[in-house]
Amino acid sequence: MTAVLRPPGAGPWPALALVCVSAATVAACGSDTAIVLEIHKAPGVSSEVFRLQVFAGVGHDEDLFDPAWWVSAELDDSEAEVTLDDEMAAATYRYLVRPGGGLGLDTDLVFAVAGYKNSADPKPVVFGHSSTPLHFGEGEVRIYDFPLVTFADARHGVTPTGCAWWDDLGNRVKRDAIVPREDGDCDSYRQDPDAEVDCVLDCNDRDPAIHPAQAEVCADGIDQNCCDDNDGRDDLDGDGFARCGSATSDCVDLAPGTQGPSNVFGEEVPSAQIHPGAIDVCDGLDNDCSGGCDSGDGYDPDDDNYLNCRSSDGELAGVHRLPDRCDASELDCLETVRPGGPAPGTVHPGAFDDTCDGWDNNCDGTCDEVMVAAGDQDGDSFPGCDTESDYIVNNTPQCRLGAGADCGDDMSRFAYPGRAERCDGVDFDCNGVLFPVNSPCFVTEVEGMVSRCVIGTRMCNDQPGSMSAGFSACVHDVNAPGTTLPMEYCLSTCSLATDPSQCLANQGPQCVVSFPMPGSNTPCTPLPAEIPLPQDAGSGGCTYTLIGGMQQGEWNVTLVGTGGAIGPTATGCGSKLRVNGAAPDAEDRVVLVLSGIAPHFFQLKRANQCSGANGPITCQ
């Protein structure tokens, strides 16, 4: 058999021109006979893949634990495994197999392909396999589509001995497998060719329940751990506890030199560290042999059996606690009560996210996806569940508190640098600077039978993870001008979590402020750039106040009086609004300046293109 794994764009196959292959079954180029697997990620798979490994099964054997399993074909590692130059992404890799070496035209063939994140990772992140046996066609090149899916879509794995197994029914059993002859039961232990008992090799390769890592069953006369340890009465790992023979038994008792179990972080835990009385750390293992795992105080604050464990070096990993074991899972994105949020125990990986509540109920990084996807069901142009545009990233609805409200430290997808900060308990632009503690707002005052809209002030708690994130009530600001504003200002609610001035983008001129491109030599009028302020007729018409201060979101602005004084206030007809600068990715900003008579809005837009002809500011 000839087998070669080829990357995209690598040119033609030896003795086979791929340009001749254009359908699932085609006439051979010349007289070639071959099978080609077109290996790629299935739609929606985002796992990073940097290494591919191919397994081939060529028949069955009565010596296997399950005779229906497939016997592994002998493949050259240099042909069946490849480390990619770049992340696999949307590329398609082709694997060519020709008959030969005892592999005839009538041989049944199955294939499995595992994709790994790096060369050292033993656990595949994606996997694919033949759904039915494949066959050569004489004089034909047959091409088969080979999509790779994640563990969430089909349970799969590869043992250290090279046994590739899968279960499309979604369980963790080895329903189908391509098995190397030296590990006929796919239990990760090679059989002992001399049938010796040494605690290292498998002493019964027809039974996956017998191998050196297996816990000994007391007083049954069977040597489950291949150690000849007096039926479990000997203390193999020297931790003071044997598997059998006492009231407190060791749940993991392996001989020296035998690899211990792996925790949820992929780290080996030595057998001697697991025994009755040991500290039950949060790692997905039953460290104290209590019959459960990760039961320490505070490991699962909401008691939903989904835990977020942290390693000694700070790595986070999710654990799903079951009655008889712990499985790896995604992180639990809500462990404690949040204001206005659902009960934490109802939010965890695998939960249903079918309510329109702005929360990520199943911890997949998006929220309300079922309702948002449903759209407008009754044709009235209003969807049953909508998401604020500020919380939509790449057409995907994000959640009010992200998946942890910390800009990605716990694998949150809610990290969108460049967005204007909001008062919502999330570092919305991920720059470490939160929404100002005090900010302006619009408030309605009632004097007798007359209502009027004026400038108010309110406090913001934007601390990530706070139990009371959000604004306080808006109250009259005694230090602000008493200018009466249009009542529509007080009624505008375009975005509850931000400065209400931003809701009034259609009230004033739109000014494009041009900044020099980084490193550019293009002539540009030096900053700061200035915009004349309107002169209002009447007393106070040329007395101005910059509402919200000189730091306006990611813009730095100030007022300049006729005498040259700068600050948040200015006096004199001919005063100006000065733009001092803006962050490189600053969002559009509405700036409100009040005279003693009327409000004035300026829409600031940043453009990294400076033209000496047009100057730094263009207003329409």
Consecutive H or E run containing 487:
helix 487-491
Residues 27 and 165 in one domain: yes
Question: 317 is written with which tokens?
Answer: 């990993």
Residue 539 is assigned to a structural domain of this protein: yes
Residues 24 and 95 in one domain: yes
The whole-angstrom separation of Cα 208 and Cα 187 is 5
Residues 517 and 409 in one domain: no
**Residue scoring higher pLDDT (48 or 408):** 48
Residues 521 and 484 in one domain: no
The whole-angstrom separation of Cα 237 and Cα 243 is 10
SS3 370: helix
Work out how many domains the chain is built from and give that number.
Answer: 4
Percentages helix, strand, coil for the chain (3-state, rounded to 5) are 5, 30, 65
Q: What's the distance, CA 155 to chain centroid?
A: 20
Q: What pLDDT sits at residue 53? A: 92
SS3 374: helix
Residues 385 and 517 in one domain: no
Q: What pLDDT sits at residue 304? A: 93
Is the pLDDT at 543 greater than 80, yes or no? Answer: yes
The whole-angstrom separation of Cα 605 and Cα 433 is 21
Residue 499 is assigned to a structural domain of this protein: yes
The whole-angstrom separation of Cα 402 and Cα 425 is 10
Range of the domain at 108: 2-183
DSSP annotation of 491: H
What's the pLDDT tens digit per position in 107-162?
A: 889 999 999 988 777 889 899 999 899 989 988 999 999 999 987 667 898 998 99
Q: Which residues lie across from 454 on neighbouring strands?
A: 443
What's the pLDDT tens digit per position in 271-325?
A: 999 999 999 999 999 999 988 888 877 889 999 999 999 888 888 889 999 888 8
Q: What is the DSSP string of 157-200?
A: EE-TT--EEEETTSSSS--EEEE-GGGTT-SS--B-TT----SS
Residues 384 and 471 in one domain: no
Residues 479 and 403 in one domain: no
Is the pLDDT at 399 greater than 90, yes or no? Answer: no
Are β-strands 599-607 and 510-514 bridged in parallel, bridged antiparallel, or unpaired?
parallel
Residue 163 is assigned to a structural domain of this protein: yes
What's the pLDDT tens digit per position in 354-394?
A: 766 667 788 876 666 655 555 545 454 444 454 444 444 44
Q: What's the Cα-to-Cα distance from 496 to each of 168, 344, 402, 492, 500, rounded to whole Å?
A: 46, 24, 17, 10, 8
Residues 361 and 467 in one domain: no
Q: What pLDDT sits at residue 397? A: 43
